[in-house]
């Protein structure tokens, strides 16, 4: 049975009973102490989960190393010799210190006024108020979560979902662990927002890896958490990701309905740009609803002007509103489905320079695949150019394929069926076969339905 030490009791009071929650606070304490003590070495002090388990279980044979002791004493305000001794040895001293601490003196009772049996102790009232206004998520913790999520967004199109998924899962779990504790209202609301966004990112990654069941679960969690705190922007973004997942699962009517319901809730929101262009227009085009798709794209561009969005190609996974080039890239995809060849080539030309100078290899690949398909839809198909662009698209993704590239690359080959005996189509088909046989491409090809 674990030994009840003062260390264990203090961690229970502060809701730091998991390795993830404690180590985050421990590392921040190490950084603060390094600055205060002028000893940079202390900033790199870390502990393993095995060390934490021994400390928390009271199983120490000897005290921790000196640097770890210094960080612990700075973090918890007690000598290490006391922290790892039995908690009962300090119970009476804790009560005495609480009663004599500044701001916690028991007010004297007026003479002649008896204390009724049903009165609460003033000390209990003050102590409870302090518990309710403090918590396990301070400003540095919330800032750490926020900056970590922003870092994942910034690196996503370079590193991809497989590399960033583990870190995103850890951040989501950390936020959930903190939510199991206590925070004042503003901190709790921010934790809900951050937890929702971590879930949303995982949902988007699941679409890119072809796991639509997981995408639906994460997306629904993100929507519910953001709805609980009236965070409309994150809720609409989550709806957009759910629609995005339905689209690549081939459920076009559901994708449109999901996006349309979200737009109806906040028709003038900047998030509606993505819902209209990525959610509605592309799904409507797949269903052949030409007029409705055109209206959705027209409204998306009107909102882009209203909100003065950036001209460039915003990151695909960003929570910020779609930039103008990102919206036009989605318009290109919709026009391909409708067979609007001239519009595809015109829009692609308009954003060509922005796409080519972006960090997004996926976007460069997807636009090439859309243009390739349009070249085959012309009255006089430009077969060699189309297949050349298709090969470039595969090379751009290299060993980091995502579901959308895999799907459109296969669609292009299907479109080229009438010319399978032509050398350029054969070359593209062989490169597609080799590219599709790599482990990462095989993984995205085996989708899990919703």
pLDDT, tens digit (0-9, with 9 covering 90-100), for 329-387: 999 999 999 999 999 999 999 999 999 888 789 999 999 999 999 999 999 999 999 99
How many CB atoms neighbour CB 142 within 10 A?
Answer: 19
Q: Indicate if the pLDDT at residue 91 is higher than 70.
A: no
Residue 88 pLDDT > 70: no
pLDDT, position 432: 94
> Can you tell me the mean pLDDT for 214-240?
97
Q: Is the pLDDT of residue 141 over 80?
A: yes
Residue 131: predicted pLDDT: 61
- Asked whether the beta carbons of 309 and 297 are under 8 A apart, the reply is no
Is the Cβ–Cβ distance between 231 and 193 less than 8 Å? Answer: yes
**Listed residue (325, 352, 353, 331) closest to 343, CA to CA:** 331
Query: Backbone phi, then psi, for 17, in 5-degree steps?
Result: -90, 0
Across the chain, mean pLDDT equals: 88
Which residues make Cβ contacts (< 8 Å) with residue 222, sequence separation at least 6? 196, 197, 199, 200, 203, 234, 237, 238, 241
Helices within 180-281 (DSSP H only): 185-208, 212-228, 232-248, 252-265, 271-274
Instruction: Evaluate if residue 99 carries a pLDDT over 50.
Output: no
Q: Which of 165, 161, 209 is nearest to 445 (CA)?
A: 209
pLDDT score recorded for residue 124: 63
pLDDT at residue 103 is higher than 70: no
| Model confidence, pTM | 0.71
Element (H, E) at 411: helix 403-415
pLDDT at position 120, please? 63
Higher per-residue confidence, 138 vs 268: 268
Identity of the highest mean pLDDT range in 26-30, 75-79, 162-166, 274-278: 274-278
pLDDT at 371: 96
Nearest to 150 by CA among 191, 209, 197: 197
Q: Of how many residues is the chain composed?
A: 450
pLDDT tens string 386-437: 999 999 999 998 778 889 999 999 999 999 999 999 999 999 999 999 999 9
CA distance 396 to 320: 25
DSSP structure class, residue 79: -
415, 376 contact by CB (below 8 A): yes
Which pLDDT belongs to residue 43?
A: 86
For tokens 């007026």, the residue is 110
pLDDT for res 80: 85
């Amino acid at each position: 049975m674990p030994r009840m030490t003062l260390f264990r009791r203090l961690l229970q009071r502060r809701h730091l009973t998991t390795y993830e929650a404690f180590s985050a606070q421990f590392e921040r304490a190490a950084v603060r102490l390094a600055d205060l003590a002028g000893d940079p070495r202390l900033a790199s002090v870390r502990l393993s989960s095995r060390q934490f388990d021994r400390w928390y279980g009271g199983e120490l044979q000897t005290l921790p190393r000196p640097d770890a002791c210094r960080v612990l004493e700075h973090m918890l305000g007690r000598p290490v010799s006391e922290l790892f001794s039995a908690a009962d040895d300090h119970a009476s001293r804790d009560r005495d210190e609480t009663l004599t601490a500044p701001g916690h003196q028991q007010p004297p009772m007026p003479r002649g006024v008896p204390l009724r049996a049903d009165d609460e102790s003033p000390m209990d009232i003050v102590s409870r108020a302090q518990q309710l206004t403090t918590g396990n998520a301070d400003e540095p913790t919330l800032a750490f979560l926020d900056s970590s999520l922003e870092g994942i967004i910034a690196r996503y199109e370079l590193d991809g979902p497989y590399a960033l998924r583990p870190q995103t899962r850890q951040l989501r779990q950390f936020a959930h662990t903190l939510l199991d504790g206590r925070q004042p209202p503003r901190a709790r609301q921010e934790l809900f927002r951050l937890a929702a966004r971590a879930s949303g990112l995982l949902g988007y990654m699941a679409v890119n890896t072809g796991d639509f069941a997981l995408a639906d679960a994460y997306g629904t969690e993100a929507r519910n958490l953001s709805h609980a705190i009236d965070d409309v922007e994150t809720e609409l973004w989550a709806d957009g990701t759910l629609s995005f997942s339905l689209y690549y699962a081939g459920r076009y009517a559901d994708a449109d309905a999901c996006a349309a319901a979200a737009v109806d809730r906040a028709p003038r929101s900047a998030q509606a740009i993505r819902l209209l262009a990525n959610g509605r227009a592309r799904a409507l085009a797949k269903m052949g609803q030409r007029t409705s798709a055109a209206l959705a794209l027209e409204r998306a561009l009107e909102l882009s002007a209203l909100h003065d969005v950036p001209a460039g190609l915003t990151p695909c996974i960003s929570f910020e509103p779609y930039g103008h080039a990102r919206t036009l890239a989605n318009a290109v995809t919709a026009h391909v489905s409708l067979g609007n060849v001239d519009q595809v080539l015109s829009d692609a030309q308009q954003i060509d320079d922005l796409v080519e100078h972006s960090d997004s290899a996926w976007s460069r690949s997807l636009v090439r695949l859309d243009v390739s398909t349009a070249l085959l839809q012309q009255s006089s198909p430009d077969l060699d150019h189309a297949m050349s662009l298709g090969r470039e698209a595969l090379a751009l993704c290299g060993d980091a394929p995502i579901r959308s590239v895999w799907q459109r690359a296969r669609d292009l080959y299907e479109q080229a069926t009438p010319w399978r005996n032509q050398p350029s189509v054969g070359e593209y088909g062989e490169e597609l076969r080799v590219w599709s046989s790599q482990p990462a491409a095989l993984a995205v090809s085996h989708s899990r339905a919703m």
